[in-house]
Amino acid sequence: MHSELIDTLIVKNQSKIIFLIMDGLGGLPVPGRDETELEAAHTPNLDALARKSVCGLLDPVGYGITPGSGPAHFALFGYDPVKNSIGRGMLEGAGIDFPMTAKDLLVRINFATVDQQGRVLDRRAGRIDDETNRRICRKLQEQVRLDERVEVIFKSVREHRALLVLRGEGLREEIAETDPQQTGVLPVAPRALVAEAGPTAALFSELIRKAGEVLADEAKANMILLRGYACYRRYPSLAERFGLNALAIAGYPMYRGIARLLGMDVAPQTDSIGAEIEALRQNYAKYDFFFIHVKPTDSRGEDGNFEAKVKVIEEVDTLVPQIINLHPDVLVVTADHSTPAILAAHSWHPVPVLLAAKTCRPDRVERFGERACIQGGLGRMPMMYLMGQALAHAMRLEKFGA
C-alpha cells in the first residue's frame, strides 16, 4: 500500500538526493570491545552530520530476517524486498550487462574443485584468476550442448564466478541449488521443487554431467555449482516510479546489475572509494539521484576483521565533507544490511541511518552509531520506507487527499 501510494504522489523538481551506502556497515561488539565497528571508528564528520540530521535504524526485510544483498538493495530503493525477490543469476547477468530476453533462465555458477568421488574440496576453486575463468567459459561454450530447442550460454564474471543462461521456451526457476554450502560432501542434485520444473531440472542434470566431463582435466575448476536460478523479469525503473534520473557509482558487478535492473545509469568502474566520490563530483550536474556503493565495509566484515572494517569506515568519514560540499538537498548515509566481523557473515541486525536535509527535524543523536541511532527521530522502520522519506524531504511528494 505504502509504495503504491508514493508512486501516485510524485512531483518533479531540481532537487538532488544522494544515498551513500556502506555495504554491511552494521556490526556487533567483539570480546574485549564494548563497541561495534561503527561505534569504535573515529568519525568526526559523520558524527557532526548526525547532529544536524534525523536518525534511526532500518530493517532490510523484517525482524529477525537475515537479508541477501539483492533484497536489501531493492528495499533501499523503495521496492518491497519480498514481492520483488530476485535470483542471484539475474543479478549476475545484469551486473555484466548481459542482454537478457524473456526466454532466459539465468543461473550463477561457482567453479569448484571436487575429488575423484565428486566430493567438494573447494567451493570456489581456489578463487581462480579472471583469465582462467574466461578460458574455462570458452571451453564450456564450445563443448557443452543440450536439446536443440535450448541455447546454452556461458559468460565469465570474476574469479570463480560465472553466468549460465539457458534460453528457450517453458523453462522454470524452481530448481534446487547444487552448492552444498560445505566441503567434504557431494553437490546437491538439481531437483525440481515443483512438478512443472521437472523438465528443466533434467536439463540441468545433463548439463552438469557434461560440464564435469569437459572440466575433468582442470587442476582446480573441475566442476560447476549452480546457485540463484532466475527467469528474466522486468522491474519498473526509478524514473517510472519516482521521476528520478539516477546514477549508480559501484564497483562490484552485482550492485551495478541491481542499478541497471532499476533503470539507473552506471558510472565506469572505479578502483577506490575516493575515485567514487570523484565520479559523483564529475557527474553531479547530470543527475538528480546518486547511489554510491562502498563494498569494503562488507568485505572486511565477511573476513572477520574488526579492525580492518573500522579503518574502512574511517576512510569513508574523511571523504564525507566532499559530499557535503556539493550541497545535496537530501543526503542519506546507511547500509544495505549488517555484516558483523564477529559473525563474518550477513546478519539480521537493523542498520543505522541518518538523513540530512534542510527540512529534517533534528533529533538528539550526537554520534552516528547503532546504539545512538535507535534514539533518533526515525525510530526503527522497514527499509523500504526510506525512499519515501528521501523523496518527501526533497519536496518531491505532493499532499495526499483533500
Indicate the average pLDDT of the chain: 93
Of the residues 199, 231, 263, which one is the last residue of a structural domain?
231
Same domain, 192 and 214: yes
Residue 334's DSSP bridge partners are 21
Give tens-digit pLDDT for 296-310: 999 999 989 999 999
Rounded to an integer, what distance in angstroms lies between the CA atom of residue 120 and that of residue 104? 28
Rounded to an integer, what distance in angstroms lies between the CA atom of residue 141 and that of residue 109? 14
pLDDT band at residue 402 using 50, 70 and 90 as cut-offs: confident
Same domain, 246 and 374: yes
The least confident of 56-65, 252-261, 359-368 is: 252-261
Same domain, 241 and 376: yes
pLDDT band at residue 371 using 50, 70 and 90 as cut-offs: very high
pLDDT on residue 181: 85
| Residue 173 burial class via C-beta count within 10 angstroms: exposed 0-12, middle 13-18, buried 19 and up | buried
Question: Is 112's pLDDT higher than 70?
Answer: yes
Cβ contact 28:340 at 8 Å: yes
pLDDT on residue 84: 86
Same domain, 195 and 102: yes
Same domain, 313 and 379: yes
Cβ contact 110:187 at 8 Å: no
Same domain, 51 and 148: no
Give residues with Cβ within 8 angstroms of 279, minimum separation 6: 249, 267, 268, 270
Same domain, 220 and 160: yes
47 occurs within a structural domain? yes
300 occurs within a structural domain? yes
400 occurs within a structural domain? no
Give residues with Cβ within 8 angstroms of 343, minimum separation 6: 28
C-alpha cell at 250: 559501484
Name which residue leads in pLDDT, 377 or 159: 377
Of the residues 196, 231, 266, which one is the last residue of a structural domain?
231
Rounded to an integer, what distance in angstroms lies between the CA atom of residue 18 and that of residue 380? 21
398 occurs within a structural domain? no
Same domain, 376 and 358: yes
pLDDT band at residue 127 using 50, 70 and 90 as cut-offs: confident
Q: Is 364 helix (H, G, I), strand (E, B) or coil?
A: coil
Same domain, 240 and 226: no
pLDDT band at residue 332 using 50, 70 and 90 as cut-offs: very high
Give tens-digit pLDDT for 173-231: 999 999 998 888 999 999 999 999 999 999 999 999 999 999 999 989 999 999 989 99
116 occurs within a structural domain? yes
Rounded to an integer, what distance in angstroms lies between the CA atom of residue 373 and that of residue 362? 12
399 occurs within a structural domain? no
Rounded to an integer, what distance in angstroms lies between the CA atom of residue 121 and that of residue 136? 19
Cβ contact 108:228 at 8 Å: yes
278 occurs within a structural domain? yes
Give tens-digit pLDDT for 133-189: 999 999 999 999 988 889 999 999 988 889 999 999 999 999 999 999 888 899 999
Give tens-digit pLDDT for 27-81: 999 998 899 999 999 999 999 999 999 999 999 999 999 998 889 999 999 999 9
pLDDT on residue 41: 97
Of the residues 215, 231, 247, which one is the last residue of a structural domain?
231
Rounded to an integer, what distance in angstroms lies between the CA atom of residue 340 and that of residue 337? 10
Same domain, 76 and 197: no
Rounded to an integer, what distance in angstroms lies between the CA atom of residue 280 and that of residue 242? 21
Same domain, 152 and 271: no
Q: Is the dihedral of CA 7, 12, 15, 17 positive or negative?
A: positive
What is the count of structural domains for the chain? 2
Rounded to an integer, what distance in angstroms lies between the CA atom of residue 20 and that of residue 293? 6
pLDDT on residue 4: 78
Domain range for 50? 2-85+235-393
Question: Is 92's pLDDT higher than 90?
Answer: no
Same domain, 349 and 380: yes
352 occurs within a structural domain? yes
70 to each of 23, 281, 307, 357, how far by Cα in Å? Answer: 12, 27, 27, 27
CA angle 212, 217, 221 (to 5 degrees): 65
pLDDT on residue 1: 52
Q: Which CATH number covers residue 15? A: 3.40.720.10
Share of the chain above pLDDT 90, in %: 79
CA angle 383, 109, 253 (to 5 degrees): 45
